[in-house]
Amino acid sequence: MGQQISTDDALPVYRQTCGELFDSNLLLRAQVGSLERQLAALQEENTRLQQGAPTTPDGPDLAAQPPYPLPDERD
């Protein structure tokens, strides 16, 4: 196991490996950034929904309102 290789032979392999690791690390960091942004948006939406805030700025959810009574059902 005491095998030695010259620096000239090892340097290209070392540089290639470092480049591959750098590329992989860069892609992983980009994915983490994207996932963190998605998580923050979903947490904000979850908080909004838990507080009962409307999800659209157009007004209240009319489908959630009770129906109007028919004329013969009124007192």
User: What's the pTM?
Assistant: 0.55
The answer as to whether 2 is a domain residue is yes
**Secondary structure class of 6 (helix, strand, coil):** coil
Q: Domain limits at 23?
A: 1-52
> For residue range 36-63, what is the model confidence (pLDDT) as tens digits?
999 999 999 999 988 885 556 677 777 7
The answer as to whether 6 is a domain residue is yes
The answer as to whether 64 is a domain residue is no
34 or 61: which leads in pLDDT = 34
Q: Could you give the number of structural domains in the chain?
A: 1
The answer as to whether 20 is a domain residue is yes
Whether 38 and 44 have beta carbons less than 8 Å apart is answered as no
The answer as to whether 60 is a domain residue is no
**pLDDT for res 15:** 96
Determine the average pLDDT of the residues in 5-30.
96
The answer as to whether 41 is a domain residue is yes
The answer as to whether 62 is a domain residue is no
3-state secondary structure 10-74: HHHHHHHHHHHHHHHHHHHHHHHHHHHHHHHHHHHHHHHHHCCCCCCCCCCCHHHCCCCCCHHHC
